[in-house]
Amino acid sequence: MLLIECPWCGPREETEFHYGGQAHVARPADPAALSDEAWGTYVFLRDNPKGEFAERWCHAAGCRRWFNVLRDTVSHRMLAVYRMGEPRPAVSGESGLPEREAGR
């Protein structure tokens, strides 16, 4: 179970949160101006990368605030937590992580 660092409440169990999918997908300002395909892409298509992924979480059973998380989808490590409206932080390589460790 993930331990998620709510920017308002601190670290809490994953079960207190709702997952909100990919972050930084802005709702189009003028949907009527979009083609069916462009609108369909906004509504239905999301990235599914192996590795770093910016995603949204909501502290549903806590402060009810939405926020962003940068997570490694392979190791499930949370690389960064930042508030709505803030830009995606640059996490270069493995910085911000506990160091990679040998198995022994």
Partner 1 sequence: MTDRTQDFRLSEGGLIDRSRRIRFRFNGEWMDGHPGDTVASALLANGIHLVGRSMKYHRPRGILAAGAEDPGALIQRRLTGEPARTDPNGRATQTALVDGLEADSVNVWPSVERDLGAALGLASRAMGAGFYYKIMHGSRWMWDRVYEPLIRRAAGFGTCPPLPDPDRYDQRHVHCDVLVVGGGPAGLAAARTAAVPGARVILADEDERLGGSLLARPRVVEGQPGPAWADAVEADLRARPDVRVLPRTTVFGYYDGNYLMALERVTDHLPLDDAPAGAPRQRLWHIRATRVVLATGAHERPLVFGDNDRPGIMLAGAAQAYRHRWGVVPGRSVVLFTTNDAAYEAALDLHAAGATVHAIIDAREAPGPGWPAAARAAGIRIMTGYVVAGTTGTRHITGASIAKLEADGRAVPHCLETIPCDLLLVSGGLSPVVHLFSQSGGRLRYDDDRLAFVPEQATQAVASAGACAGTFDLAGTLAEGAVAGADAARRAGFDPGPEAAAAPDCEPEPPIRPAAPLWRVRPAPGLDHAWGLPFVDFQNDTTAHDIRQAAREGLESVEHVKRYTLTGFGTDQGKTGNINGLGVLAEALDRPMGQAGTTTFRPPYTPVTFGAMAGRDRGDHLDPARLTAIHDRHVALGAEFEDVGQWKRPWYYPRAGETMAQAVERECRAVREGVGVLDASTLGKIDIQGPDAAEFLNRVYTNAWSKLAVGRVRYGVMCREDGMVFDDGTTARLDDTRYLMTTTTGNAAAVLDHLEEYLQTEWPDLRVRLTSVTEQWSTVGLAGPLAGELLARLASGQDLSPEAFPFMSWRPAIVAGLHARVFRISFTGELQYEINVPWHQGGALWDAILRVGVDLGVTPYGTETMHVLRAEKGFIIVGQETDGCQTPVDLGMDWIVSKTKPDFIGKRSLSRSDTARPDRRHLVGLRSKDPRRVIPEGSQIVETGASRRATPVPMLGFVTSAYWSPTLDSGFALALVSGGRGRIGDTVAVALPSGEVPAVICDPVMVDKEGARRDGLPAA
Which residues contact partner 1 by CB under 8 A? 1-3, 14, 18, 20, 26-27, 30-32, 34, 36, 39-40, 42-44, 56, 58, 60, 64-66, 74-77, 84-85, 98, 100-104
User: Do 57 and 66 meet the contact criterion of CB atoms below 8 Å apart?
Assistant: yes
Residue 24 · residue 47 · CB < 8 Å: no
Supply the minimum distance, in Å, between the C-beta of residue 50 and partner 1.
14
Cβ-based nearer residue to partner 1, 9 or 74: 74
Instruction: Give the nearest distance from C-beta 88 to partner 1 in angstroms.
Output: 14
Contacts of 73 (CB under 8 A, 6+ apart): 49, 50, 51, 52, 53
